[in-house]
Structure 1
Amino acid sequence: MKRLPIRARLTVLYGALLFTAGVVMLALTYVLLGQRLGVKVLATYNRPPGSDLPNVEYAAKMPDQLRDAALTNLLTQGGIALVLVTAVAIAFGWLLAGRALQPLQRITETAHRIADAPAADRSLHERIALTGPRDEIKVLADAFDTMLERLDRSFDGQRRFVANASHELRTPLTLSRAVLEYTAHREAATPEVRQLTDLLLDINARHERLINGLLLLARSENEMVDQTLVDLADVVEHTLGLLGPEADKAGITVGCPDPAEAFTLGDPVLLERLVQNLVENGIRHNGDGGWVRVACRTLPESRVELTVSNSGPVVPRYEIPGLFEPFRRYGRERTGQDRGVGLGLSIVRSVARAHGGDVAADPRDGGGLTVRVTLPAAPLPHPS
């Protein structure tokens, strides 16, 4: 059973307390007034001249109309007044409870904005900054702001560390690749040296892809300021053209049978990398004679959808959440000889969330995956 909001509960509590106090007050007044009226009757209606009855006996025989009328009038008018005063008090109680709880509402709204952000760590710069006397609510708001500040510094420092470390590591990797390529192409190099050099070049290339992936991941987790109108259909067409040779070499059929316009706002480079990672993932985690199908469309609810399906080995549903974690690859260890580094789907999810969207994957019955990326739709451009 759903409980009433705290504002309504406080208002009901105020009204109930006031009504109860009013009923008790009205009852006490009724009793005291009844006793007082009885005394007045005894004092007023004394024995008339010539009567042999005592005062008490005479008063007992007097009619009760005056006393009953006074008490009935008290109950009627007092009850009406009590109802009116309670109604007014409930209205004022509702207003006062709302004013007293307004700082809590402000804290709740800030927490919801941070929680509902595409990437919550990018909204940690918000602060409640509550002003007023230092009461319990002010202490709570200040503690919340302090927590947000520490989390913001922690996430920002982590992003800077990844970006700086990646930049620092690219230089020695570039130098080592140049030295290895020079050694491999020397005429005096023996076949053993060239074989070892090729192996080292493959390892170096894998490390370069890892560093580039970390750089892209750090970039996609930062808030985007400049956004342009992008048609996902154009991005898909361009990406499939770039990955055509790799698909042909692997014997995988890649196609987008019916691309539809799907306009969104974002970074074209990051969106291209999102599509490229999904298609590459479908090519590399596939079987002989397999296929990859790409589709994009605009959904009715102001969203655009990119779908990438591929054949391949059967993936258990419980393994899918781990595929979006960094350095996690289903069925392969980090030391394997595959070309991936375990950042492909992590980058896809990060880019999607940076654009206000999300990504989900479902296993296919015959093997492989179907990955769906949804992004906010942008208004269609007007023809010139």
Structure 2
Amino acid sequence: MRLTARTRLTLLFSTLIALSGAVLTVIVIVLTFTPNQTRVEPKTVEKTQIVQLGVDMKAQARQELLDRLMLGAGIGIGVLTVASAGLGWLLAGRVLRPVHVVSGTARRLSQQNLHERIPVSGPQDEMRELAETFNDMLARLQRSFDAQSHFAANAAHELRGPMTTQRTLVEVAAGAPDAPPSLRELAGSLAPVLERQERLVNGLLELAWSEHGMTTIETVRVDSLVRAPGASLSLAPLTVSGDPTLLDLMVDNLVRNAFTHGKEVWISTTSDTLTVENTGQEVSAARLATLTEPFRRGSQDRLNGNGTGLGLAIVSAVVRAHNASLDLTPRPAGGIRATVRFPAGTMR
């Protein structure tokens, strides 16, 4: 059986009280009832009988006193043990309260609320040191995430200009009337490479943007955001409170990801879920657990084909921003089922 730290401290405290009471009782009884070794020899038979009678009465009184002491000690130790268990439970809860605050804050934390801090109060003890250390760690994590996000956004933004220029130059050179066949062939080879790079840069911008969290909160019909010609649709009203731009980005990436990796796509909504599934190759459960990381694909990493490996990472960031959950499960015939479940607090 798993015992909490509070329970263990309570048991330890009450056990120490019970043992201390038992030891004290034994000491009192031993000191009180240790027989006197001094004996006085009677000189007559009558005195012998009188002394024996006194000894018997004294022994009976001692036995009665011993019984009373044992009963009183037992009752007293029992009452003290129960009282100490209750008091120990209260004291342990008070001592461990900062630990519960730390663990509760850690469970609530995500990249969107790293600004939260644990309230620090009380004496300068180990618990306060724990809270201050945890707050320092959160501050470092927040700076690290902000720096990473800003770097990705700035780098992607700076790359868009030169890449657009390169694509324009290639198209102009290939479209010139006097362009030789070799130049047209080279331009045809460069065009898909530049398109892939452009998709990657746009994906990095979308990922950095989605990880910043919601900027506006409105009532959004998620089912109306589904634009998927060729997919099998079963759309029930799904209304949530959230950022309309981020939610549109989430739906768009789910749909594009499904069409990129599968021939058939099914999309459905209920009052609290959005489900997108497709056909495709079989994906293991272990592999599914990594698909929300950047540059992960169904069967391989990095860039290949038409995808960028950022779609599900963007979806995951938007889902976290709305306190929703994303479940990826393999379909028995191959392909993936992606289910976004919105919490009750965001439903409207």
What interval of TM-score do these two structures reach, taking the shorter chain for normalisation? 0.7 to 0.9
1:291 paired with 2:264, answer yes
1:79 paired with 2:74, answer yes
State the 1:165 CA deviation.
Answer: 0.7
Q: Deviations over 1:228-256 (max 9, x none)?
A: 111121011xx22xxx4xxxxxxxx3231
Does the 8 A contact of 1:264 with 1:376 survive in 2? no
Aligned residue for 2:197, secondary structure, equals helix
Report the counterpart of residue 340 of structure 1 in structure 2. Answer: 307
Aligned-partner Cα distance in 2 for 1:334–1:5: 45
The counterpart of 1:311, out of the listed 279, 287, 295, is 279
1:328 paired with 2:296, answer yes
Does the 8 A contact of 1:130 with 1:138 survive in 2? yes
State the 1:260 CA deviation.
Answer: 0.5
Does the 8 A contact of 1:235 with 1:272 survive in 2? yes
Normalised to the residue count of structure 1, the TM-score between the two structures is 0.78
Aligned-partner Cα distance in 1 for 2:15–2:181: 94
1:371 paired with 2:333, answer no
1:273 paired with 2:240, answer no
What is the one-letter code of the residue matched to 1:202?
Answer: P
Aligned residue for 1:293, secondary structure, equals strand
State the 1:123 CA deviation.
Answer: 3.0
What is the one-letter code of the residue matched to 1:27?
Answer: V
State the 1:212 CA deviation.
Answer: 0.8
1:107 paired with 2:113, answer no
State the 1:175 CA deviation.
Answer: 2.3
The counterpart of 1:255, out of the listed 232, 236, 243, is 232
Report the counterpart of residue 248 of structure 1 in structure 2. Answer: none
Aligned-partner Cα distance in 2 for 1:64–1:363: 85
Report the counterpart of residue 151 of structure 2 in structure 1. Answer: 161
Normalised to the residue count of structure 2, the TM-score between the two structures is 0.86
Report the counterpart of residue 231 of structure 1 in structure 2. Answer: 221
Report the counterpart of residue 123 of structure 2 in structure 1. Answer: 133
Describe the shift of the 1:183–1:138 C-alpha distance in structure 2 as closer, same or farther (beyond 3 A). Answer: same
Aligned-partner Cα distance in 2 for 1:63–1:349: 86
Report the counterpart of residue 12 of structure 2 in structure 1. Answer: 13
What is the one-letter code of the residue matched to 1:17?
Answer: L
Aligned-partner Cα distance in 2 for 1:84–1:335: 72
What 5-or-longer segments of structure 1 have no aligned partner? 115-119, 245-252, 299-303
Describe the shift of the 1:123–1:188 C-alpha distance in structure 2 as closer, same or farther (beyond 3 A). Answer: same
- Across the aligned residues of Structure 1 and Structure 2, the Cα RMSD in angstroms comes to 3.2
Q: Deviations over 1:173-213 (max 9, x none)?
A: 22223333333443333444334334333322222211110
Describe the shift of the 1:20–1:291 C-alpha distance in structure 2 as closer, same or farther (beyond 3 A). Answer: closer
Aligned-partner Cα distance in 2 for 1:93–1:229: 50
May I ask how many residue pairs the two structures share in their alignment? 347
Question: Percent sequence identity over matched residues?
Answer: 38
The counterpart of 1:282, out of the listed 258, 265, 286, is 258
Aligned-partner Cα distance in 2 for 1:319–1:13: 46
